[in-house]
Amino acid sequence: MKSKKITWNTIKSWNLLLPVVALILVMAVNIIYDVANGNNPLSFFTITLQQTTGNGTILYGRIIDILNRGSEAAILAIGMTLVVSSSAGTDISVGSVMSLCASFCCMLLAGYGVSSTSQLAVPLIVGVLGGLLMGVVCGMFNGTLVAYFKIQPMVATLILFSAARAIGLLLCNDLIVYVRNDSYAFFGSFLGPLPTPLVITAVCAVIMTLVLKKTALGMYIQSVGINDKASRIAGLSSKRIIFLTYVLCGLFAGIAGIVASSRITSADSNNIGLYLEMDAILAVALGGNSLGGGKFSLAGSIIGAYTIQAITTTLYALGVSAAQAPVFKAVIVIIIVAIQSDPVRNYFKKHSAAKQAKGVA
Amino acid sequence: MKKKLISVLLTGVMAASLLAGCAATTATAPAPAAEEVKEEAEEVVEDVEEAAEEVAETAEAADGELISVGFAQVGHESDWRTASTKSCQDVFSEANGYDLSFVDCDNDEAAQKEAVRSFIEQGVDYIIIDPIIATGWDTVLTECEDAGIPVIVIDRTIDDSDKYVSWVGSDFLTEGKAAGEWLKAYAAAQGITEINALIIQGTIGSSAQIGRTDGFQSVADAEGWTVLDKQTGDFTEAGGQEVMESYCKSYEGKFNVVVCENDNEAFGAMTAMDNAGVTYGPGNDVILISYDACTAGLEKVKEGKITADFECNPLAAPTVEGVIQTLQSGGTPEKEILVPDNWYALADQIVDFSVDGNAQTMIEVTDEVIEAQY
């Protein structure tokens, strides 16, 4: 009896409890829908092996779709979490930077001025590294403005928010550049039975977690976010740490851009990463992180990103018409955010405290 | 490498411009953005003025035999738009007896009206407008009327004024109907009795989406076909992929027709169907219908992936020239003129059908046809 009580308390105090519950609730809607329609109640959760035309056998199911399609937002959310934590601001340029990195990568691979090709002009690795480098450069630009010039993050990143996509269009001569090459399609298709974007997300998350946990970087970032001045007096170069988080955010935007572009084996500058910065910021919030900086949970943000994709995929599965989908999305998001807000939390805390007090009496 | 340098340079320039603007306080930072926009607008206006001056100069220089035409184009956002611009420049060339002053309005509606006013000032013979937005034109068009300059509207429409001679463009409704009527004839030829269609729509509310959806739906309703679902793919490949991925699971084995409202969505739908092990194209399980018929789309028709592709013709200029010639000879052109669209498929998929009683001809996709497409 006692051990059971402890487990319940451990669960209650687990900081990822609410994000996970939100994710499960969103997906549970599908069970209700399937039961109401007389389908197999678990059809949303069923994962099967599917023989494809050209990609061998792959894992197939709605859950896989969520994990696959949510990857870009999840990768962006990793970088966004660090930026939010260190600078108490958001990087709203990530969507545009994604587009720029994709355009630059495709421009290198196709050659400047070529709008459609199946032959790579340079080795694949050069194009991909070029794209990632572009992300890093954008991150450095943002980081310099925020850390060294003390410009508010939203204002500083507003510049690339509007300019990066336009530079991408410039690199691509205002056209969609098609790189119809199977080797480039890899990052957006399948690695064995698993979607490559999912694998890339997992690798990014694991490496970042290790770096944050095994080195003091995670603590530094949080400490700068909690109190910039105190950290500096304690001997941390807070400017350099804020700069670093923006560079990492740019790098992750580059990775997400290449994944998005590889999915469609082209650089669609106008549409890649469109509005995705909002999803990334929302993911950080849904993950239970404060947008005011300081303490953060990387896992929470990633769960948040997949929750957003779960909502989208669920709306597709329910057949909600495209015109109404944003309304449903908004309602669900409001509920999730409200559950996690302080007043609601405090209310439940008081409630349970009162209950306990009653029990003791 | 050179390009990389340029990009780095550009980034540097941006940084410099920011510093120049933001030096004072962060609170005033949004101002430079506004200034930039203003500057840009001024630049466009300057461009317009320059173009107008050129018109004036050439008008003075020419002996009056050239017909001067002012064209206020939307911008240069897609392959389609580029093709439209090029078509105008080719047709209204000096060799053909025209003097064209072309203004690219960069999707700025104020600049477009400014461009039209400068055409009036310079006294061109004809004005061609591809209106960026459909409303707010009455004042400007009245000025044109007062100046006695006939206005020809192409592609997009003007809703709040009828002070133009003709509108020349494509009819999306006809495109949708053509796809439906073709499917009806093709299904009959193949002995397919039951049609279960899935539609991947374009950006909701765009004229292309409305026309193509309604056109196809009208035939589907008349024939009693089942339209299983309609979702938007926003005219993008990624959108097409995601919607089709979901369709493949929701309607597994229940559909035999997929209609994508542009080629990019069709490319995305193909990837999704590949991953679901669904076969498509001529002779396979699913009939894939697409619109736009851009070069990349026709290549997929040739490869036997897209069953039929329905064009939206960007080459309005030859028809516009016809209108101008009619006006020159004192005639009255029709108020609404449709640019002929073409329908494409491989030889085996070409069937006879008619739209609203007009018999249609289809074009067989060959390498030459792809080569000639914009």
Nearest residue in B to A113, CA atom: B3
Helix runs in A88-152, H state only: 94-110, 124-143
CA gap B198, B216 in Å, rounded: 11
List CB contacts (< 8 A) between B76 and chain A. 174
CA gap A285, A63 in Å, rounded: 22
pLDDT of residue B6: 62
| DSSP H or E run through B310 | strand B308-311
- Does B246 contact A313 at a Cβ distance shorter than 8 Å? yes
List CB contacts (< 8 A) between A149 and chain B. 19, 22
pLDDT of residue A234: 92
Q: Is there a contact between B32 and B91 (Cβ–Cβ < 8 Å)? A: no
In angstroms, the separation between the Cα of residue A241 and the nearest Cα of chain B is 21
CA gap B187, B219 in Å, rounded: 13
CA gap A305, A282 in Å, rounded: 8
- Dihedral Cα B170, B175, B177, B180, nearest 10 deg: 180
- Does A167 contact B30 at a Cβ distance shorter than 8 Å? no
pLDDT of residue A355: 78
List CB contacts (< 8 A) between B14 and chain A. 141, 159-160, 163
Is B344 buried (19+), middle (13-18) or exposed (0-12) by CB count in 10 A? buried
Backbone angles phi, psi at B73, to 5 degrees: -85, 155
CA gap A102, A184 in Å, rounded: 12
In angstroms, the separation between the Cα of residue A191 and the nearest Cα of chain B is 13
Q: Which residues contact B77 (CB under 8 A, 6 or more apart)?
A: A174, A270, B107
List CB contacts (< 8 A) between A52 and chain B. 274-277
In angstroms, the separation between the Cα of residue A223 and the nearest Cα of chain B is 24
Q: Is there a contact between B103 and B70 (Cβ–Cβ < 8 Å)? A: yes
In angstroms, the separation between the Cα of residue A260 and the nearest Cα of chain B is 8
Q: Nearest CB to B276: which of A50, A104, A260?
A: A50
Q: Indicate the residue type of B41.
A: A
Q: Nearest CB to A316: which of B4, B231, B237?
A: B231
A6, pLDDT greater than 90: no
Which of 3.40.720.10, 3.20.20.70, 3.40.50.2300, 1.10.30.50 is the CATH number of B172-313+341-372? 3.40.50.2300
- Dihedral Cα B159, B160, B164, B168, nearest 10 deg: 0
Angle formed at CA A291 by CA A286 and CA A293, multiple of 5 degrees = 130
Q: Which letter does DSSP use for residue A146 in this model?
A: I
- Does A137 contact B11 at a Cβ distance shorter than 8 Å? yes
List CB contacts (< 8 A) between B15 and chain A. 141, 144-145
pLDDT of residue B134: 84
List CB contacts (< 8 A) between B241 and chain A. 263-264
Q: Is there a contact between B130 and B168 (Cβ–Cβ < 8 Å)? A: no
CA gap B201, B266 in Å, rounded: 11
Q: Indicate the residue type of A226.
A: I
- Does A321 contact B276 at a Cβ distance shorter than 8 Å? no
CA gap A55, B273 in Å, rounded: 12
Helix runs in chain B, H state only: 2-22, 30-61, 79-91, 109-122, 138-147, 172-190, 207-223, 237-250, 263-275, 295-302, 317-328, 367-372
pLDDT of residue B52: 56
- Does B246 contact A65 at a Cβ distance shorter than 8 Å? yes
Q: In whole numbers, what is the pLDDT of chain A averaged over residues?
A: 91
CA gap B64, B157 in Å, rounded: 32
Domain extent listing, chain B: 65-164, 172-313+341-372
Nearest to A147 by CA among A92, A75, A225: A225
Residue of A101, A170, A176, A179 for testing the chain B interface, max B β-carbons within 10 Å: A176
CA gap A193, B127 in Å, rounded: 59
CA gap A209, A213 in Å, rounded: 6
For the stretch A300-336, pLDDT in tens is 999 999 999 999 999 998 888 767 878 888 888 888 8
Give per-residue burial for A65-98: e unless 16+ CB within 10 Å, then b.
bbbbbbbbbbbbbbbbbbbbbbbbbbbbbbbbbb
Number of H helices, E strands in chain A: 16, 7
Q: Is there a contact between B269 and B244 (Cβ–Cβ < 8 Å)? A: yes
pLDDT of residue A115: 82
Nearest residue in B to A137, CA atom: B8
B282-288 long-range Cβ contacts below 8 angstroms, 24+ apart: B282/B307, B282/B346, B282/B348, B282/B349, B285/B256, B286/B255, B286/B256, B286/B257, B286/B258, B287/B183, B287/B186, B287/B256, B287/B257, B287/B258, B288/B258, B288/B260
For the stretch B310-356, pLDDT in tens is 998 888 899 999 999 999 999 999 999 988 889 999 999 999 999 98
List CB contacts (< 8 A) between B82 and chain A. 174-175
For the stretch A212-270, pLDDT in tens is 999 999 999 999 999 999 999 999 999 999 999 999 999 999 999 999 999 999 998 88
CA gap A266, B237 in Å, rounded: 9
Q: Which residues contact A199 (CB under 8 A, 6 or more apart)?
A: A191
Q: Is there a contact between B178 and B355 (Cβ–Cβ < 8 Å)? A: yes
List CB contacts (< 8 A) between A309 and chain B. none
Question: Greater confidence, A332 or A154?
Answer: A154
pLDDT of residue B327: 93
- Does B8 contact A272 at a Cβ distance shorter than 8 Å? no
Distance of CA B7 to the CA centre of its chain: 30
pLDDT of residue B325: 93
For residue B191, give both structure tokens.
């002995």
Compute the average pLDDT of residues A150-175: 91
- Does B249 contact A130 at a Cβ distance shorter than 8 Å? no
CA gap B178, A216 in Å, rounded: 65
Residue of A148, A187, A259, A321 for testing the chain B interface, max B β-carbons within 10 Å: A321
- Does B11 contact A141 at a Cβ distance shorter than 8 Å? yes
- Does A263 contact B4 at a Cβ distance shorter than 8 Å? no
Please name each of the domains of chain A with its CATH number: 2-39+73-353 (1.10.3470)
**pLDDT > 70: what percent of chain B?**
82
Q: Is there a contact between B287 and B328 (Cβ–Cβ < 8 Å)? A: no
In angstroms, the separation between the Cα of residue B218 and the nearest Cα of chain A is 19
Q: Nearest CB to B26: which of A50, A155, A322?
A: A155
Kindly list the distances between the CA atom of residue A197 and the CA atoms of A23, A66, A74, in Å, as whole numbers in the listed order.
Answer: 20, 11, 10
CA gap B309, B306 in Å, rounded: 7
Q: Is there a contact between A131 and A256 (Cβ–Cβ < 8 Å)? A: no
pLDDT in single tens digits along all 374 residues of chain B: 555 556 656 555 555 554 444 443 344 444 445 555 556 656 666 666 665 555 544 444 444 579 999 999 987 766 678 788 888 988 999 999 999 999 888 778 888 999 999 999 999 999 999 998 888 899 999 999 999 999 999 988 888 888 999 999 888 999 999 999 999 999 999 999 999 999 999 888 788 899 999 999 999 999 999 999 999 998 899 999 999 999 999 999 999 999 999 999 999 999 999 999 999 999 899 999 999 898 889 999 999 999 999 998 888 899 999 999 999 999 999 999 988 889 999 999 999 999 988 888 899 999 988 888 87
The pLDDT confidence band at residue A1, using thresholds 50, 70 and 90, is very low
Counting one residue from chain A and one from chain B, the pairs whose CB atoms sit within 8 A come to 121
pLDDT of residue A114: 87
For residue B70, give both structure tokens.
């002012």
For residue B12, give both structure tokens.
């540097």
List CB contacts (< 8 A) between A151 and chain B. 18, 22, 26, 29
The superfamily (CATH) of domain B65-164 is Response regulator (3.40.50.2300)
A33, pLDDT greater than 60: yes
- Does B238 contact A264 at a Cβ distance shorter than 8 Å? yes
| DSSP H or E run through A312 | helix A298-318
For the stretch B92-151, pLDDT in tens is 999 999 999 998 887 788 889 999 999 999 999 999 999 988 888 999 999 999 999 999
- Confirm whether B65-164 and B172-313+341-372 share one CATH topology: yes
Question: A202: number of CA atoms within 13 Å, CB side?
Answer: 9
Q: Which residues pair with B151 in a beta bridge?
A: B127
In angstroms, the separation between the Cα of residue A129 and the nearest Cα of chain B is 12
